[in-house]
Amino acid sequence: MKRFANAVLRVLVVPGELVGWLILPLIVSVLMTVLAAKMGWNAFLRWDTPLPVLGNALTVNSMADLQWYIFAIIAIFGGVYAFRDNQHVSVDVFSSALPRRVRLGLSVFGDLVFLLPFCAIIVWYGWSFTLTAYNAGEGSSYGGLMDRWLIKAIIPVGFALLGLAALVRALSTIHSILLPTSGTQTGDDR
């Protein structure tokens, strides 16, 4: 069970491990915007046939949109990554004094009562939120990026991964509560 859970978690954090590299284009893009403001440029490139996402120009506003797109991707997928590695902000001054089984029980309670329903709701409404943007062909009205549904889709996708991670960890923790000999490593051990 433990091995299975770790294998699933390893797959779920793959996007989180990779998206950090987007920080490099993020830096470049912000520096280009600063330069453009200094030089008084508006568009870096223009063309005639509209392309998906980019529309028909690469402007300062496309850059600004790109920047928060990258930020959104890092924040959401990083959430799954930080969850697997137990790096989310928590206050364990009191709980660390509790017996191990109680701590594991609290962890399962959190995964199933706090995290899983929350993820389910965000996936459900995030999906219709994305569909609405898709059907309306929503895009920037300031010459920025088009096809907003793509970035909105990050929300249901990211929270689906997070919910799955919570479920898998909860099952694995329950398993190790019921069969304490099957291994000391559990999702709750820091």
Q: Using CB under 8 A, which residues numbered 54 to 113 contact other proteins?
A: 59-61, 64, 67-68, 70-72, 74-79, 81-83, 85, 87-96, 103, 106-107, 109-110, 113
Q: Does the footprint of other proteins cover residue 172 (CB under 8 A)?
A: no
Q: Which residue has the tokens 């969850």?
A: 83
Q: How far apart are CA 186 and CA 190, in angstroms?
A: 9
Could you identify the residue written with the tokens 């309670």?
109
Structure tokens at 171: 């099952």
How many CA within 13 A on the CB side of residue 118?
A: 9
Measure the CA angle with vertex 128, ends 124 and 131; round to 5°.
140
Applying CB under 8 A, which of residues 8, 9, 148, 161 lies at the interface with other proteins?
A: 148
Question: What are the residues whose beta carbons fall under 8 Å from the beta carbon of 174, sequence distance 6 or more?
Answer: 108
Contacts of other proteins in 113-142 (CB under 8 A):
113-115, 117-118, 121-122, 125-126, 128-129, 132-133, 136, 138-142
* Closest to other proteins by CB, 4 or 42: 42
Could you tell me the smallest distance in angstroms from the CB atom of residue 102 to other proteins?
Answer: 10
Rule CB under 8 A: is residue 1 a binding residue for other proteins? no
- Rule CB under 8 A: say whether 17 interacts with other proteins: yes
Using CB under 8 A as the binding rule, whether residue 3 contacts other proteins is answered as no
Number of residues that bind other proteins (CB under 8 A): 79
CB of 43 to other proteins, least distance (A): 8
Among residues 91 and 178, whose Cβ is nearest to other proteins?
Answer: 91
- Residue 173, Cβ neighbours under 10 Å: how many? 24
Give dist(CA 143, CA 57) in Å, integer.
Answer: 8
Query: Closest distance between other proteins and the C-beta of residue 124, in Å?
Result: 8
Q: Which residue lies nearer to other proteins by CB, 85 or 182?
A: 85
Residue 47 sits in the site that holds other proteins (CB under 8 A): no
CA triple 131-18-122, angle to 5 deg: 30
Nearer to other proteins, 117 or 183 (CB): 117
CA distance linking residue 32 with residue 55, whole number of Å: 19
